[in-house]
Structure 1
Amino acid sequence: MAEGIFQERAGEVREDIVEENINQLVAQGILRIEIGFRNELKVVEPYLKICRLKLQQGELIDWFLGSDSNLPESSRIVLVQYHGETIRTSLNDDPIRSLFVYCTRYSQGLVPYEYWEEGIPNDHWASIRSAFHTFNFLRVLEFHNLKVKSLPEEIGDMINLRYLGLKNSALDEIPESIGNLINLQTLDIRWPRCPRVLPSGVLNLAQLRHLMLPRNGIKVPSGIGILTNLQSLINLFIRPGIIQELRSLTQLKKLKLIDVSEEHGSELCACIMKMTGLVSLSLETRGFENDELLPTLESYSPPPSFRKLRLYGRLMDLPNWVCSMENLTKLILGYSFLSEEAISVLRFLPNLKHLTPWEACKVKVMNKEFCRVGGLPKLEALVIANQNLLEWTEIEEGALPSLAFLHFHCCSQLRILPEGLQYVTTLKVLNMFPLHPDLKRRLSRDGGKENYKIKHIPLLGSFGSFG
């Protein structure tokens, strides 16, 4: 969207048009959705081969180079893979439209990028900084895993910039001149070691559509309600008066709030009721492993567009409106301390595709009530985290007819996989981290008595081989 490679249509939301284009590519078999923790889009053969050929010919991305090379004198999209060397440039006023600089996990000396905990040395990318004033046409700028320590004030001169990504940086502050980026649509500063204060200049970014904040409790300037074009607001910490400001952001499609408590319930409910196009909502308490209760928003009536819900914090019971959401496709419940009965009613959600009960239920035994025939007909990914879980007793034959990805995380005591797992023929991936020694022995390919339950699954992963 930032590079402007899609056709806008009057009266339609840009993000909706882009999603429609992607769905068309999936339907045509050019892209494939890979089911997992986070679904990923992959280019499939023979289109992948064609793309690689065009890449080599400079038709899609003009240059792909290591950081020990000079940047090209003329290119439209530039990717720099950083290995730990000094980045050199050879830039002029040619119209570079997109610049991506990202750090691989290891440098050439096999030093993890975490080695630069305090940030990349200035001399390693000084030439990039000095070249900022030449990026007159730049629309997209992303530093990923680079642990950039500072941005020059000159970044404010890049007035054509639409996307600025600084994920996993080491920034101490963001310059006030960022407020000059009048065309900026996306500001992504997620991940640790980010500035504690967002400059007030952000409030000048009238075109901003996506604001992704770090989880460090960054202080957001008062008046954020002026950014009425926002479609996404991620990792906003609740502070006095902030919910009132959110009332103006009626265009929001994705909202993630942190440090929410039960006392915010009625005000928050009235606020999000105004967001009639909301697609994704995440509510998280502070220190969600303690006894802090999440608000249940009992009077909330989700709009038809609502698809994804994440609730991290203690719940006395599932809110009634959750079980009535026929269009819900993704549900994550964390540290909810719910009963098995409360979890089992989720099977009546007809379009749920991804379910993650993350320490949401502390039972030692999962029974077949969780997944009877007819329940969860479209579930594709199931991620279970439960340190207390010892056994999953049974899956009825014909249950979970769409399940492709099953992951057990921190289920270190789990000793028995369910009878009937062998009938879930759609299952492509089974991960168990860690794998209990007793269960490993019974599932072993070499004479394991319960190997029949998993032998049809193509991809098996664990801390410790299945054998």
Structure 2
Amino acid sequence: MRGLFLSKAKQEHFVFIIYQSDASSLPIVRKISRVSARFVWSKLTSSLGNLRCMQTLDLRLDDVNIFEYIHVPNVICKMEQLRHLYLPEECNPKTKWKLGTLRNLQTLVNFNTKNCYVKDFMNMTNLRELEIRWPFNIEGFNTEELDKNPPIIQSKYLHSLSIINNIINDERRIDPKHLAHLLLSCKNISKLSLDEDPMSTLEKLPYLRMLDLHEKAFIRKEMFCSAQGFPKLESLSLIELNNLEEWKVGEGAMPSLQRLEIQSCIQLKKLPDGLRFIATLQEVKIGSMRKTFKDKVEEEEEDFCKVRHGLSIIFHDCEW
């Protein structure tokens, strides 16, 4: 069936399949403007740069176990019409791409400073979605006078940011000062996914509407959301924060919060009392938590619901 679909798509000129042995034929398709390329080769040739009108380029391997690295020559900079660029998760450590010419880029996935340059963000003024992977280091960063460092992100359209560390040990952590500086240059972020711990910076982001904190995103035992913090936040997810024992919410914090999810935060003792003051809160989902936590929430649920009319608290897999 798959072969039939591909055959029909080729007949209708909807898809072109280029085999590795035919890589030299890439120049004949340079006029295609709406195309997504997904590769399963370990090494691409410089003729890739001839696809000058390409708008979507996906260099992620279909099967990450096939090759340890993928080699992509430094020719992506020639594809100036690119809107969406998905870099490989792993590539040759000697590879270094210049991406500063991609002024039309809207989506950039798997950016890291081992294979890319931070300074190239300066020209990406149309960037809307960004995913960063370790390593991420800012060259020449002034750690003594933080305000002397120029902003990293110049796009006023950036609304979605994900930072993925794949942490093995503390040596592979992004420097908190570098991370905080990056976040402060993302003034219009509305969706953020992190596995780092910059809460004092996050709560000052004026347009942040969705925040997902996963695994080692918060490594301390106590988390505090101060009054007036997270002014626009509507959705908050705390997932597998294994060290978190106590969460405090100041009166006036998260005044726009509608949805809260707590999943597998096995050390957390109770919901913060400050949630009572959030008039917009509609739904709390609690999953894979200890039964003692569930019992504590159920004890306070009646009082919560008296204050918060229409609040729904949903439990699943909390019987252990």
> Aligning the two structures, in what range does the TM-score lie when normalised by the shorter sequence?
0.7 to 0.9
Match in the other structure for 1:208: 54
Structure 2 contact 221–246 (Cα < 8 Å) conserved: yes
Structure 2 contact 192–212 (Cα < 8 Å) conserved: yes
Distance 1:404 1:219, change over 3 A: farther
Query: Deviation digits for residues 384-411 of structure 1, max 9, x if unmatched?
Result: 231111221x323332121122223331
Match in the other structure for 2:101: 248
Structure 1 contact 420–453 (Cα < 8 Å) conserved: no
Distance 1:228 1:454, change over 3 A: farther
Q: CA deviation at 1:419?
A: 0.8
- TM-score, normalization by structure 1: 0.53
Distance 1:226 1:316, change over 3 A: closer
Structure 1 contact 384–409 (Cα < 8 Å) conserved: yes
Aligned partners of 2:301 and 2:21: how far apart in 1?
Answer: 55
Match in the other structure for 1:275: 124
Q: CA deviation at 1:418?
A: 0.7
- Residue 169 of structure 2 corresponds to residue 311 of structure 1: no
Query: Deviation digits for residues 126-175 of structure 1, max 9, x if unmatched?
Result: 43344344324x4xx7xxxxxxxxxxxx646xxxxxxxxxxxxxxx9797
Match in the other structure for 2:136: 294
- Residue 305 of structure 2 corresponds to residue 450 of structure 1: no
Query: Deviation digits for residues 160-210 of structure 1, max 9, x if unmatched?
Result: xxxxxxxxxxxx9797467654424241649xxx55445666433322112
Match in the other structure for 1:363: 220
1:320 to 154, 172, 181: 181
Q: CA deviation at 1:284?
A: 0.8
Superposed counterparts of 1:190-269, under 5 Å: 194-198=40-44, 202-214=48-60, 216=64, 217-236=69-88, 237=90, 239-244=93-98, 246-258=99-111, 260-261=113-114, 268-269=117-118
Superposed counterparts of 1:15-164, under 5 Å: 87=1, 125-136=2-13, 138=14, 155=17
Structure 1 contact 419–453 (Cα < 8 Å) conserved: no
- Residue 280 of structure 2 corresponds to residue 440 of structure 1: no
Question: Relative contact order (C-alpha < 8 Å, sep 6+): which is higher?
Answer: 2
Match in the other structure for 1:349: 205
Provide the identity percentage.
24
Distance 1:326 1:155, change over 3 A: closer
* Structure 1 counterpart SS, 2:54: coil
Structure 2 contact 263–289 (Cα < 8 Å) conserved: no
Structure 1 contact 415–436 (Cα < 8 Å) conserved: no
Q: CA RMSD in A?
A: 3.4
Q: Which residue identity is paired with 1:311?
A: I
- TM-score, normalization by structure 2: 0.73
* Structure 1 counterpart SS, 2:123: coil
Match in the other structure for 1:332: 193
Aligned partners of 2:164 and 2:100: how far apart in 1?
Answer: 23
Q: CA deviation at 1:229?
A: 0.5
Q: Which residue identity is paired with 1:131?
A: K
Give 5+ residue unaligned stretches, structure 1. Answer: 1-86, 88-124, 142-153, 157-171, 286-292
* Structure 1 counterpart SS, 2:203: helix
Give 5+ residue unaligned stretches, structure 2. Answer: 142-148, 166-172
Query: Deviation digits for residues 226-283 of structure 1, max 9, x if unmatched?
Result: 1111122123456435333x2332322322235545xx7xx72322222233333322
